[in-house]
Amino acid sequence: MKPGDDAPLFILPSSDGKKVDLTSYRGKRHVILYFYPKDDTPGCTKEACAFRDSFAELKKAKAVILGVSLDSLASHQKFVEKYTLPFLLLSDTDAAVSKAYGVYKLKNMYGRKFWGIERSTFLIDPKGKVTHLFRRVKVDAHLDEVLSALKELKRV
């Protein structure tokens, strides 16, 4: 996948108990679609809280945040409540959407190999096109990268 490609469409269950259809944002908002490995782990919590803390600024930029992991809805609901996350988390338990976006990868941690999500973010414009891809995201600088990309899109 590269900038200019159509974002793969999906409908996934969300932390608010409803289904989210990516097409529902067409013509309205930019979508910050971020994939993360696991609810309530250090890096994932830091990333989610950074998006939470900048929620007003992102909303002002006409962007919506959607987080995706392989976790269950019950896990997402606990994570949202614990950290007061003001955006939806989507449950991709069969990894179909993660595979469509190319973020479901064979990982290696402490010599153990397993399949999981490679932390990645896709910025999708109101026409449904991917404008920016952030792969192998480093959490500390990531929010600034996303904000910079949104500002760049406003100038275009």
pLDDT digits (tens, 9 = 90+) for 40-94: 888 898 999 999 999 998 888 889 999 999 999 999 999 999 999 999 999 999 9
Share of the chain above pLDDT 90, in %: 66
Confidence tier at 108 by pLDDT (50, 70, 90): confident
As a whole number of angstroms, the distance between CA 135 and CA 16 comes to 27
Instruction: Look up residue 66 and give its two tokens.
Output: 């959607």
Whether the per-residue pLDDT at 156 is higher than 80: the answer is no
pTM: 0.92
As a whole number of angstroms, the distance between CA 62 and CA 28 comes to 8
- For the chain, the domains span 26-155
Asked if 93 and 74 count as a contact pair (C-beta separation under 8 A), the reply is no
As a whole number of angstroms, the distance between CA 147 and CA 91 comes to 25
Task: State the catalytic residues.
Answer: 44
- Which fold does the domain 26-155 belong to in CATH? Glutaredoxin (3.40.30)
Tell me phi and psi for residue 144, to 5 degrees. Answer: -60, -40
